[in-house]
Structure 1
Amino acid sequence: MSALMELVRTGRTAEVVGLLDGMTDAERRSYVPELRALRQELRAAPWQSDARRAYPALHTAGAACQTGAAGVASWLAAADLRWSGVSPAVLLHVLGDRETEWLADVTHRLAQRPVTAAVPYELMAGLVRLSGCPVPTTDAYVRGWIDHQHGSWQRGGTLLDRLRPDPHLRELVSALFETDDIGSRLQWPGHDGPDTWTGALARLTAEGVLDRATTVDACVARLLRGGPAADQRVFLRLVRSLALTRDEQRQRTADWLALASDATSTVASYAQSVLAGLALDGELAPHRLAEMSDAVLFRPEKKLVRAQLVLLGKALTRDASAAGALLPAVARAFGHEDAEIQERALKLAERHVRKLDAAPVRAELAAAAAQLTPGLRARAAGTLGAAPADPEPADYTEVLPPAPRPARLAPAAASAVELAEEVGAALAAEPGVSGFERALDGLVRHAHQDRDALLAALQPVVTRRWWDGADGPVAGDRYGDSLGEVTDAAAGLDLLLATLRGAVRTATLRARVRRGAKVRGCVHSALSRAFTARLWEVAYRMRTDPLPFLLSTPTWSTGLLEPAELVARLDGYRRLGVRVAVTDFAQALLRVDRADRAAAGQAAVRAAALGTREGRRLAAWLTSGTPALPGARRRTSGPRVLVELGEVPDLRDDLPAEFQPLGGPVGVLQEHRWCPHWDDDIRQHWSALLPQRRELVAARLLRDLSDLALDDHQGAAVALPALAESGGEAGEAVHLGLAYGLGARHAQDRLAAVDALLVLAARGQLDATRLGTDLGQLVRCGAVKTARLAESARTAAATGAHATVWGVLSRMLPLPLADLATGDAAAPPRGLGELLAVAAECAERSGARGELPHLAQAAARRGSSRLATQARRLRSALAEGVAA
C-alpha cells in the first residue's frame, strides 16, 4: 500500500496535505483509481469507526488528485463525503495552486448544485476569492450567504456592520429578491431593528450603499409575485421600512392597484392604504379609484371591504363631481354576501345619490339594488328608485342541491395486469369503498383462476411494499407477526398480497381465523373486528381453498348489495360446489337490501329454492323485515354530549362471533380505552359494513366527531357524507355527529358536514328540530363555537337552502338568546351576530314569519353592535315576511 493511501486510511489529514503539496499533477492523478476504490469500499459501512476516521482525509485527497473541474465539483459535493468534517480551509489550500479559470469553473459548478447538496458557503466564497470570478447568484449560494451572515454574530457587531463591507453586497441583495421561499431565513433573528435583515437593508439603502430605486422596484416586484406567507411578511416589512415618498408611491400606482386586487390580505391592506393616501390628496383619478374598488369590494376580507367603503365615502365628500364614477363602484357592494356590508354601501349611496346628474347612472344604481337583501331592497325602492320588493311573501320553493346517487360498482378487472394497476393505485391513495371492494374481489377471482399469472402481474407492486425483501418475501412471518388488526384499506390489500407472496404462514392465517384477530377494545372495536375478520378469512381461503369470487362485494358505492345479485352468487357457489366463507357470507347478509320489500320477497323465494343452508338463511333474513333502532340514551361528559345504544338482538343471533359485537351495546366508557384507529378514511369502510344501519355506525364514531369541535382534531368528518348517503333511520347519533361537524375547527371538516346536511335534506331525512336543538345545547355548553357554526350555516345557505338553514337556526337560536336575555351568559357568544345575520337572510329569502323566543330582548339592546343590528333585522323579517 502506498504512503498516501496508508495516510488516508488512518485519517491523518494534515500529513496527507503535506504529502500532496510535494506532488506533481501527474503523480496526483495516478492515485485517483485507488481513492475511488477506497470510497466504494467505505460506502458499505459508512458509520463504522474506520470509515469515519478515513473520510476527511479521503475527501481532501480526492479533491486534490482530480484534474477535471466537473470531477472535482462532483467529489466535493458528493453525498457520502458531505459530512466528512474536513474544513473548507483545508480544501481551499489543496485547490489553491490551480489556474483561476479552472477554479472559476469549479466555483460555478458547486454553486449550481441544489441546496440539499449542502455545499459549504465558506468553500464557495473562498473559491470566488481565489479565482476572482463574478459571484454566483444561485439559490445555494444566496442561501449560504444569508446563513453565513447569521452565523457571524460571534464576531460581534450588528448584521448591518457585517453587511456593509461585503464586496458583493449589491449582487447578492439583488439575487435575494429573486430567490424563492427565502422569507423564513430573513425573519431571523427578529422583526425590527438594525440587527434584522429588513432594518439593515433599509439602512443600507438610505446610506446609498444600495441603489434606492432598484431596491424599491425589486421589493414591490417580489410582492407582486406572491409566494409563501413568510416571504410576503418580510418584503412588506421592508417596503414599510423604506418609507416611500409620495413620488415613489405615485410612480407605482398600477402596482398598488394589482396588489390591492390580488395580494394576500396584509399586503392588500398596505396597498389600499397607499392608494387611499393618493386618492385623498387628489393624486388618484376617480376612474382609477373606481377600478380599485371593483376589485377590493369583491374580496372576502370584510375589513378590506369596509375600509374601501370608508375611502369611497371620503372621496365622494371631497369631490362631489366624482359621484358619477364612484357611486357605481359603491353599488358593487350591493351583491356582497354580508348584509351589513350591503347596508353600509346602501347608506353611502343614499347619502351621495343627490349629487348625480346623469340619469343612466341613477338607473344603474337602481338596477344594482336588486342584489340587496329583501329588507334593504324595500328601503332602496324609496331612496334609489329601485324596483319595490313584493309586499307579500311569494310562494317559496326550496331548491336543494340534488342528493348524490350511489354509483354501481364496475366488474372486477378482466386481466391480471389491469388488476395489478388498480391495486397499485389503491395502495398509493385511499381507494374509497368502490375501489377497495373491486380490488379485493379482483384478487380473489384471479388467485382462483391463475395464481401464477397474478403473481407475475403483481411483481412490480409487491416489491415496493414494506413486508417484501429485495429478493422476495422475507422468510418466516414478517407480515403476520406484525399485524392482527386491519386499520385501513391499504393494510387489507397488503394482507392479501402478502398471503399470495408467502409472507404469511398458513398456521398464522388459520390461527387468526379460529381465534379471531387481535383488536383493541375501544368503541370502534366492533366495526374494526368485523372488517378485519372477513379479510383474514379471505386470505386463509386464498391459501388453502381459493374462492371463485366474493359473496359480499357490494352492488353500490354505499356498500349496499342487491338481494337478487346475492342469490345469483349463492347459486354460482352451489353449482361449483364451493364451501361458503362464514364471515364473507355474514358481511353479505349485513349489506343486502331489505328496504325494498317487494324485491326482498322475490329474492327470498329464489334463495329458499336453492336448497342450501345459506339459501335458507338468506331467505329468512330477507323476510324478517327492517329491524327497529335500539334504545338510545344521551350521556354528557363535561361539554361533550354522547349517545349510548342498547343491544340489537338480530345482530347478536346467528352471526359469526366476530360480527356479534356489532349488535352489542355502545357505552360512553368504551371511549376512554386506548384507540389505534387514527386513519380517518377507514370510517367510510365502516359505514359500508352496515349500509342500512347508519345509526349504529354513527354512535361508535360520535366521540371522533365531537373531537372536531372540542379538541380541534381534523379529518373525522369524512364519515359524515358517507353516513348521509347511507340507509336506515337518521337518529340521535347521526344528528348529533352532524352538529359537531358543523362546529368543527377546520374548514374542510365543516364543508363535509355541510355536504352531509344538504344530502339529508335532499333525501327528506333531516330532522331540523332535532339538529337545531342539538346545536343550541352544544353552543350553550361550549362544545360548539358560534362563529364556526355561522360559517357552516352561511355556506349551506349559499347553495339556496334558505328554508332548511332557517329551520335549523330557528330551533338553535332561542337557547343562546335566552341566556343573553336572562343574564346567564357573561357576554354574548362570539359570532352570535354573524349567526343572526345568516338567520335574517334565510328568513327574508324564505318568507319565514312568526315569533322567535327571546329575539325581542336582543333587538332591544342599545347601540349598533352587529348582534343588536342583526337581531333587529331578523325581527323585522319575521314580522314582515319579506321574500325574495
Structure 2
Amino acid sequence: MSELLTAVHEGRLDDIPALLAPLGKAERRAVLDELKELRKESRTWPWGERTRTRKAILIAGAGCHGGAAGCATWIGAREMRDWVHSPYPRLLGVLADRDPAWLADLARRLSARSIESDAEFRLVAELVRMAGCPLPVSDGLVRGWSERVNQTRWGHRRSRPLVDVLRDEPHLAELVPHLLEMPEVPTQVTWTNTQDPTDDWPTSLAVLTREGLLDRDPLVDRCVTRLLRGGKPSDLRFCLRLLQGLEPTAEEESARITDWMAMASDGTSAVAGHALSVLARLDAEGGVSVRQWAEVSGPVLFRSEKKLVRAQLVLLGKVLRRAPEAADALLPLVAEVFGHPDIAVQEQALKLVARHLSATAPAVREEVSDLAAQLGPVHQPAARAVFGETRDGGPPVDAYEETLPSAPVARRLGPAVSGAAELVEEYVSLVRTRAGEVTAFERVLDGLIRCAHDDRKGLTDALPTALAGQWWADPAIQLSQEEIDRRFSRNHDGLQVVVAAFLGRVSATAIDEGRSRWTATGSCCHAALEGVLYARLWEAAAAIRKGDLPFLLATPTWHTGSLDPAELVERLTVYRDRGLAPGPADFGQALLRVRRTGEGRAADAAAALGTREGDRLDAWIRADEPVAPVLRRPVEVEPRSERGWLQRSVVSTRRLLLATKERLVIQQEFPRTFHWLGRPHSPRQQRCYHWGDRSPQWIATLPEDADTLAAWLLPSLTDVEEQRGMAWPLPDLAESEGPSGHAVHLALAYGLGARFAEDRLSAVDALLVMAARGRLDAELLSGQLGDLIGRELVKPARLADSARTAASTGACRTVLSVLVPVLPALLGREKAPRGLSDLLAVAAECVERSGPPKAGPIPGLAATAARGGSTQLVRQAARLEAACGEGQDATP
C-alpha cells in the first residue's frame, strides 16, 4: 500500500497495475481513502505536477473501487479530466479482470454522464467491447462520437471524405438515429464544409442510407418529428437537408399530410417553405382537400414572412382555379391579408379576391367587402372598383395622436443600509447573481464602509455566513497569503476585495500595491473607466481596514449614477467637521457624477465650506463643462492591416468616429487614475483588448457626460456589423442626464442600421426615449444617417426595419422627421440603393397614418414615381407621393 501511494504521488503510471494487483478489498478501501485526501491536496499544486499525479490518482482510484457506481463517479469527475494525453488505456488495463456485467454497468453509467471528448467515447466503446454488451447510447456518447469522427476526418494532413470516415464507424447504425433525438445536435454535425458543400453530414448520411448501412424508415420518421418539434435553426437545417436527401416517396409524404400542415403553420421559414412545397406537390395529385387548405391557410397567411404569404396566395389561386366552389371557404382567409403591412402582398390578395369573388355567396361577399377597409389608400380605388362601394382607409389625419413612451424619471436610491444583517443579505445577492445594477453595487459598497465604522463587530459576526463558496474564504482550499494577494492583485473580484480586506485576508502591502497599480494607463476608454472603478475598490479596501470613514462621497443619488450637489456638500461638511480627508478616487468619482447645470446655490454652499474639496466642487459646478469636449467634425478611420491576434485597433473596417479635446483640470487636479479621461483622444490612436466587454458601471462613471462617453464608446458601438449586442449602451445613454449631442446621435445612427435585430431594437428604444425627453435632434440624426448611408456604413433596408418598429409604437411623426430628410439624396442617385423601396414604404405608411410632412414635397420623389414599371421602388414612390398629396388636400 505504501509503495502504491508513493508511486501515485510521484506519477509513476506504469508501476500502478503491478502494485495494485495483490491488494485485497479491505486494503483497496484503505488506499482509496488516502487517494481522496491526495486528490483534495493536489488542487493547489502547479498544473504540470498536478496533471501527472491526477492521472495516477485516476487509475489507482478506479482499480480500488468495488462498485461500478462509485467507479463511474470517480472517473467522470470534472477535475479528473485535466490532462492532454489520455490515461484511459492504462485505466482499461487496471479494469481488465472485472466481471463483464460489472464492466457493462460501468459503461452504462459513464455513458449517462457528460462525455466531452473522443477519448471518453473510446473508453466507453472499449468497455462495451470487453463486456460484450450493446452500446449504451446517450446524448453525451453521441457528442463524444461526433468529436471522434471530426478528429478522424481532419486528423491527417489530407482530410478524408466524411462519407468514408462514417462508413468505417462500427457503431454507425446505433448512434445516428439518436442523433436526431438530441435536444441540440452537436455543432460538428451541423457544420458545413464551405469548400465542398457535399462533404457534410446530411449528404453523407443519405449516401450511407442508400448503401444500406442505415435503416431509412426510422430516419425519415425522426427527421419529420424533429422538424415538428422545432429547435435551433442550425439543427433544423441539418434535419431538413437529411430529409430531402432521403427523398421520401409520394406515399410517405401523403401519409404525413397533417405534419406538413403543422410545419407550414408554425415552423421556421425554411421548414415552412419546404412543407408548402410538399403540400403543393400533393395538391397537384389531388391529395389535399379544400378543408385542409382552409385549415392551413389561416396560420400561413398570418405569418410575417412575405415570401411564404405570397407562395400561399399562389397555391390558393391554383386551388380556386381547379375548384371554384372552394371560394366561399378560402376567400375570407385571403381577405385577411388586406391588413398586411406590405402593399404588394395586399395587391396580390386583392387581385385573387377580384378574380373569384363572383363565385361566392352574398354573405361571404359582404364579409370580404368589409375586410377591404384594411387596404391602404393606394389600393382604395381598386377596392371600390371591385366591391362597388366607397371604402374608408382608416381614421382621418387630424385624428392622429403621436404616441411616445413616458419620459424616464430618475429614481432615487433607497436609504443607506441600516445594519449588518441587511448588508450581508444584499452582498450575498449581489455576489451570487453577479448582478450589474449600479444601484445595488453602490449601496453595498457604501454599506460596507458604514458598517465597518458604526458596527464593526456586528459586521464581523455576520459576514462568515456570506462567504460560502468564495475561493479566498473556503477553509478546504489552503492558500498562502502570497497566493491570495497575487490573485486579488491580478483580478480584484469586485466587492470581494473590500470584504477580504475587512477580514484581514488581504495584506496591507497588497492593498498599497493595488491602489498604485490601477492607474488607467491603458489605451482605450474601457481600461480607463475600469481603472476608475478598480481604484475606488482598492481605496475602499484600504479605508475599511481603518474604519474611520462614516460613508463614501461618490454614492449616487439617482439610479443613473448622478449625484445631487447639495447632498455632496452635506457629506463634505461631515468630513470637515470630523477632520477626515476624502479618498482621492472617491472624491474624483463624486465630481464626475455631480450635477452641474443650474446649481448656483450648491456652488455657493460648497465655496462656504472653506476646504480645498469645497473650492474644487464650487469651481467644477460653475465651469459646467463636459469632462472632455467632443469635436463635431467626424474622423474617417481606415482599418489597420497590421494587428496582433489579441490586440485590435478600435475599428476593423472603415468608420466615421469622433475625437475629444483635452481637459487640463482632469490631469492637474484629479488622481492619476483619471488622467486618461482628460487627455485628447483620436480614434486613430487607440488600441483595445476588450472584445465585446460591457458594464453599466461605465455609464455610471460619467452619468452627466453622455456625449463624451458616446464618443469614446463609438469604436465599440460601430462593431454592430460584426458582433451581436454591441448597441447595449444606447438606451442608457438616452436616459443619461448629460446633453445628447453629436456623439450620441452618431451612435444612435449606427444602432438604427445595425446588423442584428436586438441591436436595432436597442437603438429604437433609445430613439423613442430621446424623443420623449425632447432631446432628439431629428435634423442632426438625419444628416448623420445620410453620411453613413452614403459611405455604405448603414444599409437602407436595416434602417427601414428600425423605422418600421418605431412607427409601430405610434411614433409616426418622429419617424418621418428622421426619414424625410434622408430620402432626397437617395432618390437622386443614378442607381437606387438596395432597400430604398423599404424606406419609402415605411415613410408612406407613416404619412397615411399621421399626415404629410411639414417640409413639403420630397425632392426626387415625383421623378422616381414617374419612371414607370412595376418595381417596388416605383410603386412605393407613387404610394408615398399619393399619400402626401391626399394628406395635403385634406389638411385645413
Note closer, same or farther for the CA distance 1:420–1:181 as it changes in structure 2 (3 Å cut): same
Match of 1:766? 776
Match of 1:742? 752
Between the aligned partners of 2:461 and 2:57, the Cα distance in structure 1 is 48
Match of 1:36? 32
CA positional deviation for 1:135: 4.8
Q: Secondary structure at the match of 1:634?
A: coil
Aligned match for 2:445, one of 440, 459, 470: 440
Aligned match for 1:705, one of 708, 714, 717: 717
Note closer, same or farther for the CA distance 1:381–1:450 as it changes in structure 2 (3 Å cut): farther
Tell whether 2:888 aligns with 1:878.
no
Between the aligned partners of 1:516 and 1:58, the Cα distance in structure 2 is 42
Q: CA RMSD in A?
A: 4.7
CA positional deviation for 1:262: 1.9
Aligned match for 1:415, one of 419, 438, 442: 419
Contact 1:77 1:118 in 2 (8 A): no
Note closer, same or farther for the CA distance 1:637–1:127 as it changes in structure 2 (3 Å cut): closer
Residue identity matched to 1:591 = R
1:45-65 residue CA offsets vs partner (Å, 9 max, x unmatched): 798799959968984x87777
Match of 1:179? 182
CA positional deviation for 1:772: 0.6
Q: Secondary structure at the match of 1:717?
A: coil
Alignment of 1:647-662 (within 5 A): 655-656=669-670
Contact 2:472 2:484 in 1 (8 A): no
Match of 1:373? 376
Q: Secondary structure at the match of 1:800?
A: coil
Alignment of 1:664-675 (within 5 A): 664=678, 666-668=680-682, 671-675=684-688
Contact 2:720 2:754 in 1 (8 A): yes
Contact 1:777 1:815 in 2 (8 A): no
Q: Secondary structure at the match of 2:632?
A: strand
| Structure 1, 158-167 or 430-439: larger mean CA deviation | 158-167
Match of 2:571? 569
Contact 1:46 1:52 in 2 (8 A): no
Aligned match for 1:324, one of 313, 324, 328: 328
Q: Secondary structure at the match of 1:641?
A: strand
Match of 2:557? 555
Note closer, same or farther for the CA distance 1:41–1:443 as it changes in structure 2 (3 Å cut): closer
Residue identity matched to 1:112 = A
Aligned match for 2:240, one of 236, 242, 262: 236
CA positional deviation for 1:306: 2.1
Residue identity matched to 2:863 = Q
Match of 2:436? 431
Between the aligned partners of 2:483 and 2:142, the Cα distance in structure 1 is 52
Between the aligned partners of 2:729 and 2:584, the Cα distance in structure 1 is 28
Tell whether 2:816 aligns with 1:806.
yes
Contact 1:723 1:734 in 2 (8 A): yes
Between the aligned partners of 2:814 and 2:305, the Cα distance in structure 1 is 27
Residue identity matched to 2:876 = Q
Match of 2:393? 389
Match of 1:478? 485
CA positional deviation for 1:760: 0.7
Match of 1:306? 310
Tell whether 2:658 aligns with 1:643.
yes
Between the aligned partners of 2:64 and 2:76, the Cα distance in structure 1 is 15
CA positional deviation for 1:733: 1.7
CA positional deviation for 1:802: 0.9
Aligned match for 1:831, one of 811, 829, 835: 835
Residue identity matched to 2:635 = T
Contact 1:226 1:263 in 2 (8 A): yes
Residue identity matched to 1:446 = C
CA positional deviation for 1:774: 0.8
Could you state the TM-score of these two structures normalised by the residue count of structure 2?
A: 0.82
Between the aligned partners of 1:621 and 1:49, the Cα distance in structure 2 is 57
Between the aligned partners of 1:70 and 1:782, the Cα distance in structure 2 is 62
Note closer, same or farther for the CA distance 1:15–1:577 as it changes in structure 2 (3 Å cut): closer
Could you state the TM-score of these two structures normalised by the residue count of structure 1?
A: 0.82
Q: Secondary structure at the match of 1:872?
A: helix
Tell whether 2:285 aligns with 1:281.
yes
Contact 1:476 1:505 in 2 (8 A): no
Alignment of 1:354-753 (within 5 A): 354-359=358-363, 361-377=364-380, 379-384=382-387, 385=389, 387-389=391-393, 393-427=397-431, 428-459=433-464, 470-471=477-478, 474-475=481-482, 478=485, 482=489, 493-502=495-504, 506=508, 517-522=519-524, 534-544=536-546, 546-574=548-576, 576-595=578-597, 597=598, 600=599, 603=602, 632-638=631-637, 639-646=654-661, 655-656=669-670, 664=678, 666-668=680-682, 671-675=684-688, 680-682=693-695, 684-709=696-721, 712-753=722-763
Q: Secondary structure at the match of 2:397?
A: coil
Contact 1:205 1:215 in 2 (8 A): no
Contact 2:449 2:543 in 1 (8 A): no
Between the aligned partners of 1:233 and 1:662, the Cα distance in structure 2 is 49
Match of 2:337? 333
Between the aligned partners of 1:877 and 1:789, the Cα distance in structure 2 is 21
Residue identity matched to 2:28 = V
Between the aligned partners of 1:690 and 1:75, the Cα distance in structure 2 is 52
Residue identity matched to 1:393 = V
1:564-591 residue CA offsets vs partner (Å, 9 max, x unmatched): 4334434444554544445544544443
Q: Secondary structure at the match of 1:288?
A: helix
CA positional deviation for 1:767: 0.9
Match of 1:780? 790
1:368-427 residue CA offsets vs partner (Å, 9 max, x unmatched): 334333433564344344732379732532111222222221123323243234334444
CA positional deviation for 1:112: 3.3
Note closer, same or farther for the CA distance 1:564–1:272 as it changes in structure 2 (3 Å cut): same
CA positional deviation for 1:719: 2.2
1:147-185 residue CA offsets vs partner (Å, 9 max, x unmatched): 677788899999889989999876655544433333545
Residue identity matched to 1:414 = S
Residue identity matched to 1:797 = A
| Structure 1, 752-761 or 607-616: larger mean CA deviation | 607-616
Residue identity matched to 1:108 = R
Note closer, same or farther for the CA distance 1:550–1:865 as it changes in structure 2 (3 Å cut): same
Q: Secondary structure at the match of 1:239?
A: helix
Aligned match for 2:250, one of 229, 246, 249: 246
CA positional deviation for 1:76: 6.3
Between the aligned partners of 2:518 and 2:305, the Cα distance in structure 1 is 55
| Structure 1, 499-508 or 342-351: larger mean CA deviation | 499-508
Contact 1:522 1:672 in 2 (8 A): no
Q: Secondary structure at the match of 2:656?
A: strand
Note closer, same or farther for the CA distance 1:662–1:411 as it changes in structure 2 (3 Å cut): farther
Note closer, same or farther for the CA distance 1:311–1:697 as it changes in structure 2 (3 Å cut): same
Contact 2:519 2:674 in 1 (8 A): no
Match of 1:108? 108
Match of 2:640? none
Note closer, same or farther for the CA distance 1:294–1:543 as it changes in structure 2 (3 Å cut): same
1:824-871 residue CA offsets vs partner (Å, 9 max, x unmatched): xxx432322222221221222221153112223332345333223222
| Structure 1, 400-409 or 690-699: larger mean CA deviation | 690-699
Q: Secondary structure at the match of 2:634?
A: strand
Q: Secondary structure at the match of 1:672?
A: coil
Tell whether 2:800 aligns with 1:790.
yes
Note closer, same or farther for the CA distance 1:602–1:378 as it changes in structure 2 (3 Å cut): farther
Between the aligned partners of 1:141 and 1:305, the Cα distance in structure 2 is 42
CA positional deviation for 1:347: 3.0
Match of 1:352? 356
Alignment of 1:147-296 (within 5 A): 174-182=177-185, 184-186=187-189, 198=202, 202=206, 213-296=217-300
